[in-house]
Structure 1
Amino acid sequence: MIPVRGFEGRTVAVFGLARTGLAAARALIAGGAEVALWDEKPAAVEAARAEGLPVVDLKSADWSRFAAVMLSPGVPLTHPAPHWTVEKARAAGVEILGDVELFARTVNAAPEHKRPKIVAITGTNGKSTTTALIGHICAQAGRDVRIGGNIGFGVLGLEDMHGGAVYVLELSSYQLDLTSSLHPDVAVLLNISPDHLERHGTMENYVAAKRRILANQGKGDTAVIGVDDPWGQQICTEITAANRRTIVPISASKAMSRGVYALDGLLYDAGGERTAEVADLKRARSLPGRHNWQNAAAAYAAAKGLGIDAAEAAEHLMTFPGLAHRMETVGRLGKVSFVNDSKATNADAARQAMSSYPKFYWIAGGQPKTGGIDSLGDLFGRIEKAYLIGEAAPAFAETLKGKAAAVVSQTMDQAVNQAYADAAAAGQEAIVLLSPACASFDQFADFEARGEAFRAAVQRLANTQRGAA
């Protein structure tokens, strides 16, 4: 754990007692602060009490005694309406922040020789893979690396810092909305496409949240910016004009005179006097497809920004084992392979997996995002049949009508069983692809739980098939 500094002897309210909130509460206590914990879920409150943590009903509390309120990132800050904790904090003049901001302040307050290196990664798609890939390169290069944030452990639950540590942090727009003083040595902005607009209100607000990852960088820092979308291109142009840091554009769709780019699976570094081919990504089994080539370009550029030798960074790209829930093959029955892409929580993310297979049996649905799957229309011809689950099932079935065969399965087990039956009956090599293009919260706690449900359904099916044999 990283003890939080700056609130010694003062009381910080903590709302939201899932992974992030509990880690923050423990870290605040370890740093000398008092805490007052609350959650709207009685089970979460009881779990905190059972751990001996101080629980206070924040709805009836005196907010004037709080130095700050630490919100879990899932709590609405502005849209669709400010949460009641936000309204109470503002009325009492209480500062609102998140766990990443607590981490940032603790780092900033540390003596120079004890400050770790920080790599921060955001983007609409590819964050988790890129974060894990950078962490892998750093570990293989002998760095003392800790990976967390929006992936794995909450940042304050990671091992305490020292001057030789490297924190590689995936950051969501929700987390960045609650962060103001984070200073990454390397900031990575992969891409931007419409997402979470129900939470941010407008595309402009969403872009502004993502852009906060770059706000505190200066001379000596590195900004890695994806330029394959108009928002990233504009941001790269604007910060290049400011000329305060090393800027590395990345692309998976075009050659560039400077930066790092991938074309047809070949990774090029245009950062020196001449452009050099540094890796053949088609040989990296865990990095298939153009979207992963962008992730690899970002990870390579970030590693160089940390001072890792270019040849070593390229070498370690090739040994990346892959990421759970992102185009992860979880089983095979006869000629049918099952691919878990539960991390695809919007249409753009689903496009990446769908584009990687010429034909597939598609399990999709969940809590729908703005725009649904309309933008995937050019890929509908690849769908052998769709098996639709969750809240989005009726709308997705309507979108696919006349364009691809589809059935409303509703549950994960039913979808897996139906998809396998159809794929096996075809008698040829086939892919059953879970790539939901939706959030998971209608049926599952998170995308990880959804992916594990898919894995478990495949295992049950395999057991049934073995029993029948």
Structure 2
Amino acid sequence: MIPVTTLKDRRVAVFGLGGSGRVSVDALIAGGAKVVAFDDRAETVEKAKAEGVPTGDLKDEDWTTFAALVLAPGVPLTHPHPHWSVLRAEAAGVPVIGDVELFARERRAHCPQAPFVAITGTNGKSTTTALIAHMLEAVGRSVGLGGNIGTAVLSLPALSGGRNYVVECSSYQIDLAPSLNPSIGVLLNLAPDHLDRHGTMENYAAVKRRLVAGSDVAVIGVDDRMSSDIADALAQAGRRVIRISNRFPLAEGVYAAGTRILEADNATQTEVADLAGIASLRGAHNAQNAATAVAVCRALGVPAAKLKAALASFPGLKHRMEPVARLGRVHFINDSKATNADAAARALASFERIYWIAGGRPKSDGIAALSDYFPKIVRAYLIGEAAKGFADTLGGAVDHVDAGTLEAAVAMAATDAERDGAGEIAVLLSPACASFDQYANFEARGDAFRAAVAAYLESRNKLTQKGVA
């Protein structure tokens, strides 16, 4: 744990007692702060109180006595409207911050020499964060991996100058970290997402920009216009910027040419690695992730010669283009993390013949933007609340069926794919939707896909043994 000493002896309100909220409470107490913790769910407050957490109804508190409100990232800060605790804090002039801000303050106060890599972007940030951490560990660096990837940042090992802190940051976390200043800030890309929480695309982009604007070195993907404009503006302001692309060569930066990752310096290109045959880094989107990881490692002083083996040993992440099974020419791919069209596009671009499982709770962008990939889709199996809307978009361009449930979709897609005699085939779960209509989160949806594939294969094996199949 990283004790939060920068608020020692100060009164601090904490709202939200989920995973990161509870860790924030413990870290604040360990650092000597006087905490009052609360949550809108009475049962959560009672459980925390029984476990020794200093709770109190923040509605009854004198907010002028608080030095800060530490807000859980899932609690609305601005849109669709500020949470009541935010309004109370603002009325009293109390800063509203989050756990990433507390981490940044502690690092500045006690260990500014500790390398701090912060990664954000609409898509690919978890894979890139994990890949950077893996590569650094593979070359012998000590690493603390956390943030939005699943480990609360304040639960990482104590600050040390010899440890590299690699932290995934969501837009919600950046919004609560006004003084965020990583050694290396990464912005992968920008596409419409979380607009219910930020109001407009411009607001969303402005939040993401803050992460790289506050960094010593900004590593920025330049394949979308908004990110490219951010890179140009920072460079013009005299900041050190390393550009990344998987669409075109760069005179300076790191880019992907097919499966090859090249480092460009003064218009001289040097191949660092070839991703061909690395299943965990399949597809153009993973080429961007790999190019970004290479750029970060090089900025941290890792010799280029050591990076090829580090990339090749990356095991990948669950629910992100994850190969879960293979049946002859049929590959079963779990891409449950693809909760918007832009993320699904990356998966659809990675295969040539696809039986696509899509749907869930739709987002505002829909799937019309995926039309360029429709010729690759042999048949689509639609699930959840989005089924009708997706069917309307697919129209006569793609054969499709309303499968209803994920389990039914897997059985139908697997059966159809087995009967397909053409080349390599993907049964691909890449929903382009949130999961909340049928599952608690994308992880639960991905686990259900894995279970459904296993059930189908087991049933098929039994039939084969009986001589039926």
- What TM bracket, shorter-length normalisation? over 0.9
Aligned twin of 1:156? 154
CA deviation profile, 1:422-466 (whole Å, cap 9, x unmatched):
323446653211101112233323222221221122223333334
Aligned twin of 1:281? 275
Aligned twin of 2:249? 255
CA spacing shift, 1:54–1:83, aligned 2, 3 Å: same
Aligned twin of 1:456? 451
Residue among 191, 198, 215 paired with 2:189: 191
CA spacing shift, 1:6–1:253, aligned 2, 3 Å: same
Residue among 252, 263, 273 paired with 1:269: 263
Work out whether residues 366 and 392 of structure 1, in 8 Å CA contact, stay in contact via their aligned partners in 2. Answer: yes
Aligned equivalents of 2:219, 2:211: Cα separation in 1: 11
Does residue 437 in structure 1 map to residue 432 in structure 2? Answer: yes
Aligned equivalents of 2:77, 2:238: Cα separation in 1: 32
| Match runs of 1:111-130 below 5 Å | 111-112=111-112, 115-130=113-128
Aligned twin of 1:53? 53
Q: CA deviation at 1:123?
A: 1.0
Work out whether residues 12 and 33 of structure 1, in 8 Å CA contact, stay in contact via their aligned partners in 2. Answer: yes
Work out whether residues 252 and 264 of structure 2, in 8 Å CA contact, stay in contact via their aligned partners in 1. Answer: yes
Aligned equivalents of 2:12, 2:454: Cα separation in 1: 45
Structure 2 segments unaligned to the other structure (5+ residues): none
Number of residue pairs matched by the alignment: 463
CA spacing shift, 1:42–1:419, aligned 2, 3 Å: farther
Amino acid at match of 2:81: A
CA deviation profile, 1:100-144 (whole Å, cap 9, x unmatched):
0011111111155xx421001111111111111110110011111
CA spacing shift, 1:38–1:424, aligned 2, 3 Å: farther
Higher mean alpha-carbon deviation, 365-374 vs 334-343, is at 334-343
CA deviation profile, 1:340-396 (whole Å, cap 9, x unmatched):
001111101100011111111111112222221110011122222222222222211
Work out whether residues 89 and 95 of structure 1, in 8 Å CA contact, stay in contact via their aligned partners in 2. Answer: yes
| Match runs of 1:330-349 below 5 Å | 330-333=324-327, 335-349=329-343
Runs of 4+ in structure 1 over 4 Å off: none
Does residue 418 in structure 1 map to residue 412 in structure 2? Answer: yes
Work out whether residues 304 and 313 of structure 1, in 8 Å CA contact, stay in contact via their aligned partners in 2. Answer: no
Q: Secondary structure at the match of 1:153?
A: coil
Work out whether residues 5 and 105 of structure 1, in 8 Å CA contact, stay in contact via their aligned partners in 2. Answer: no
| Match runs of 1:29-40 below 5 Å | 29-40=29-40
Q: Secondary structure at the match of 1:452?
A: helix
Work out whether residues 272 and 305 of structure 2, in 8 Å CA contact, stay in contact via their aligned partners in 1. Answer: yes
CA spacing shift, 1:44–1:216, aligned 2, 3 Å: same
Aligned equivalents of 2:457, 2:44: Cα separation in 1: 35
Residue among 137, 140, 151 paired with 2:138: 140
Aligned twin of 1:11? 11
Q: Secondary structure at the match of 1:90?
A: helix
CA spacing shift, 1:172–1:454, aligned 2, 3 Å: same
CA deviation profile, 1:267-293 (whole Å, cap 9, x unmatched):
111125722122222243321111111
CA deviation profile, 1:204-252 (whole Å, cap 9, x unmatched):
11110000112323xxx321111111112111111111113x3211111
Q: TM-score, normalised by structure 1?
A: 0.94
| Match runs of 1:21-420 below 5 Å | 21-112=21-112, 115-217=113-215, 221-244=216-239, 246-271=240-265, 274-333=268-327, 335-420=329-414
Amino acid at match of 1:413: E
Work out whether residues 250 and 260 of structure 1, in 8 Å CA contact, stay in contact via their aligned partners in 2. Answer: yes
Q: TM-score, normalised by structure 2?
A: 0.94
Work out whether residues 148 and 168 of structure 1, in 8 Å CA contact, stay in contact via their aligned partners in 2. Answer: yes
Aligned equivalents of 1:410, 1:15: Cα separation in 2: 38
- Provide the identity percentage: 54
Aligned equivalents of 1:440, 1:385: Cα separation in 2: 21
CA deviation profile, 1:133-162 (whole Å, cap 9, x unmatched):
110110011111011111020111111111
Higher mean alpha-carbon deviation, 167-176 vs 191-200, is at 191-200
Q: CA deviation at 1:64?
A: 3.2
Amino acid at match of 1:222: V
Q: CA deviation at 1:95?
A: 1.3
Aligned equivalents of 1:77, 1:247: Cα separation in 2: 30
Aligned equivalents of 1:40, 1:360: Cα separation in 2: 44
Amino acid at match of 2:20: T
Aligned equivalents of 2:290, 2:328: Cα separation in 1: 32
Higher mean alpha-carbon deviation, 207-216 vs 386-395, is at 386-395
Q: Secondary structure at the match of 1:53?
A: coil
Amino acid at match of 1:439: A
Structure 1 segments unaligned to the other structure (5+ residues): none
